[in-house]
């Protein structure tokens, strides 16, 4: 998929892009369920970064999405011993 430069203006969130979008370093320890969770400026993994960008547009991902996905995988991959 190719996006024309002129289309990028249509992808600006209300209030514009915050500085952390450009400067936040990748840190795999800074996932959505990490505790303590540092500020985005200090780092984020790709998932937390994506969730934060969605938030700039007023969108949200349910907080238990990861846990339920992990539970489904675990249930599916755990062999039955009976």
- pLDDT at position 62 is 82
**pTM assigned to the model:** 0.64
What tens digit of pLDDT does each residue of 62-79 get?
Answer: 876 555 555 555 555 555
What tens digit of pLDDT does each residue of 30-65 get?
Answer: 988 888 889 999 999 999 999 999 999 999 888 765
Q: How far apart are CA 5 and CA 74, in angstroms?
A: 43
pLDDT above 90 (res 82): no
What dihedral do alpha carbons 34, 37, 38, 40 form, nearest 10°? Answer: 80
């Amino acid at each position: 998929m190719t996006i024309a430069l002129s289309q990028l203006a249509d992808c600006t969130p209300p209030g514009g892009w915050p500085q952390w979008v450009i400067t936040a370093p990748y840190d795999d320890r800074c996932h959505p369920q990490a505790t303590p969770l540092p500020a985005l400026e200090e780092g984020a993994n790709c998932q937390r970064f994506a969730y934060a960008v969605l938030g700039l547009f007023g969108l949200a991902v349910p907080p238990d999405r990861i846990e339920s996905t992990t539970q489904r995988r675990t249930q599916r991959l755990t062999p039955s011993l009976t």
